[in-house]
Every structure is written in C-alpha cells, then in structure tokens.
C-alpha cells in the first residue's frame, strides 16, 4: 500500500532523514517516536510533498508519489491531509468555514475568494463536526475555542478532504492530558471507523503504546525500531532516545494512562 524506499533528506551536510525504508501493507495507526531532531517531521513532510526528498522513493498504491508534479501533486496532498501541533486554523474565521477549507484543493479560485461553498459541502462539514462532538461550536470563530477544540476542528478539516492518509505532526504536543486524550481518540476513530491510515509523530511513549498498531522509532534520521507497542520495551525506548541507564519513561510520558479510556484489548473485544 505505502512503500518508502531508501528515503533521504539532507539539509547541507545534515541528513535529517537518512536512508529510511518502510512498508505498510494496509491502513493502520502508526506512531513515529524519537528525540527532538530525529527527523520525524521531515519524514512526514516528505510524505505529503511539503518537502522534496534528496533521494529515494515513496510509492502509494502502486503510484510513485515522489515523482508527482502540478495538479497530480495537489491531488496527492488532498489524499494525505496534514494536522499540525499549532492547529493552523484561520483564527478569525468561523469553525464551519475552517472545515470547508478542507475542500480548497478541489475548488476554483473565484469560488474560494467569495467563500462560495455548495450546500452539500456545508452539510457535510456540519455532519463531521457533529461526529466529532463539536457541532455546537460551528458558528464560533476558531480563535474562541480551546486548544483541544481547535485541534478537533483541524481533524474535521482533514476528514473533509476525504483523505486516504492523515499525517499528524505532534498533534497533542500543545494540549493538556485530557484534551490530548480526546484528540488521540478522534484520530483512532477516523482510522477504526473510516479505514484511513493515520501516521502521527508523537513525543510521548505512553501515547504511542496506547493508540498505535505499529511504532516506528527514529534516531538521527534513521529508523532504529519498527514494531508493535508490546515490543517497545523500556530498553528499546532507551536506544531510540539515545539515553543512558538513567533514562526515565516518565520524562516522555503524558498522564493519558491515568485517564479512563478503553484499552486496545477492550476495543478488540468490542469489535
């Protein structure tokens, strides 16, 4: 489905991503972890073509997306929506319009300039907000919402694009544990219910363990771990983060674990 082969991105002499090869044969929820500067953001940015690789290839469903240009590249960018740490909403614009921005890639410039959206799109945007439990805020300006609510609007905007892949770059890094949990639950839902692949850069081990089917560990641009949450032991984590024996998991954890949430096992039981 998604294959990354010998992917490298160099900024001068610095290899931000260094000869990375990965293969995903089905949509799943993937966590990418690693210390600051390990190359997580650069990897995600290459996947949606915000950054051009120095060498290597990315192939999705048989198509080499690293070769796409112009309209094809824009269509690919609609197919893999991006969610950022700082939400990247238009602060003074209302929530529904922010969500409708998710359709920009397939609309004419004139329609966009005058904010002309088809009724069907407006209804769909409200349905998505409703599904994420924030329809009550639809008419408010984005800047009036809490950080957690803004990130949920950003997720709604991503879903509005109807993407095959959702790329989330540190989606909970600016949120308190309660909101972090809500946002991670939403990301998990859009994988579980819609079958979309979700790839999230995470700075906390407990979140990766709790929510992801597969975890990729990066260190200095290289993939040093690729396995299941169960395989992500403290020793492995120590290698990924390049820490010595004094490495403490608490330093890379949120308090999500202490909040009430169905575990993966319980989710599997229900399914």
Ligand X SMILES: Nc1ncnc2c1ncn2[C@@H]1O[C@H](COP(=O)(O)OP(=O)(O)OP(=O)(O)O)[C@@H](O)[C@H]1O
- Judged by the rule CB under 6 A, the positions of this chain that interact with ligand X are 11, 14, 16, 34, 36-42
CB of 33 to ligand X, least distance (A): 9
- Closer residue to ligand X, CB minimum distance, 11 or 248: 11
- Closer residue to ligand X, CB minimum distance, 42 or 149: 42
- Closer residue to ligand X, CB minimum distance, 40 or 101: 40
What is the dihedral sign for C-alpha 185, 173, 217, 206?
negative
| Region label for 122, one of left (φ > 0), alpha (ψ between -120 and 50) or beta (otherwise) | alpha
Rounded-to-integer distance, Cα 25 and Cα 270, Å: 24
Rounded-to-integer distance, Cα 119 and Cα 131, Å: 18
- Closer residue to ligand X, CB minimum distance, 29 or 38: 38
Contact call for residues 9 and 54 (beta carbons, < 8 A): yes
| Structure tokens belonging to residue 46 | 């290459």
- Closer residue to ligand X, CB minimum distance, 100 or 166: 166
- Closer residue to ligand X, CB minimum distance, 9 or 101: 9
Q: Which residues of 178-216 are buried (b: 16+ CB within 10 A; e: fewer)?
A: ebbbbbbebbbbbbeeeebbbbbbbbbbbbbbbbbbbbb
Rg (C-alpha) for the chain, rounded Å, is 19
CB of 124 to ligand X, least distance (A): 32
DSSP, res 203: S
CB of 188 to ligand X, least distance (A): 21
CB of 149 to ligand X, least distance (A): 24
CB of 41 to ligand X, least distance (A): 3
CB-based contacts of 118, cutoff 8 Å, min separation 6: none
CB-based contacts of 206, cutoff 8 Å, min separation 6: 249, 252, 253, 254, 256, 257
CB of 45 to ligand X, least distance (A): 7
CB of 237 to ligand X, least distance (A): 15
Length of the chain: 271
- Closer residue to ligand X, CB minimum distance, 50 or 126: 50
| Selection from 157, 163, 134 nearest residue 146 by Cα | 134
């Amino acid at each position: 489905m998604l294959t990354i082969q010998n992917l490298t991105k160099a900024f001068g002499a610095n290899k931000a991503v260094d000869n990375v090869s990965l293969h995903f044969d089905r949509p799943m929820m993937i966590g990418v972890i690693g210390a600051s500067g390990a190359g997580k953001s650069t990897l995600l940015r290459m996947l949606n073509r915000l950054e051009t690789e120095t060498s290597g290839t990315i192939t999705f469903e048989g198509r080499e997306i690293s070769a796409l240009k112009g309209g094809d590249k824009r269509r690919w960018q609609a197919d893999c929506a991006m969610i950022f740490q700082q939400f990247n909403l238009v602060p003074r614009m209302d929530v529904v319009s922010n969500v409708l921005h998710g359709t920009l890639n397939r609309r004419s410039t004139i329609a966009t300039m005058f904010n002309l959206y088809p009724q069907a799109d407006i209804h769909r945007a409200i349905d998505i907000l409703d599904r994420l439990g924030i329809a009550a805020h639809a008419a408010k300006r984005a800047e009036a919402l809490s950080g957690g609510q803004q990130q949920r609007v950003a997720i709604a905007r991503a879903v509005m694009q109807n993407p095959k892949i959702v790329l989330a770059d540190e989606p909970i890094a600016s949120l308190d544990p309660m909101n972090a949990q809500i946002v991670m639950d939403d990301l998990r839902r859009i994988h579980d219910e819609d079958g979309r692949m979700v790839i999230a850069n995470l700075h906390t081990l407990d979140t990766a363990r709790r929510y992801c089917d597969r975890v990729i560990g990066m260190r200095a641009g290289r993939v040093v771990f690729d396995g299941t949450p169960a395989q992500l032991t403290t020793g492995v984590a120590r290698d990924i983060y390049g820490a010595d024996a004094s490495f403490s998991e608490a330093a890379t954890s949120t308090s999500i674990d202490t909040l009430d949430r169905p575990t993966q096992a319980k989710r599997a039981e229900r399914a």
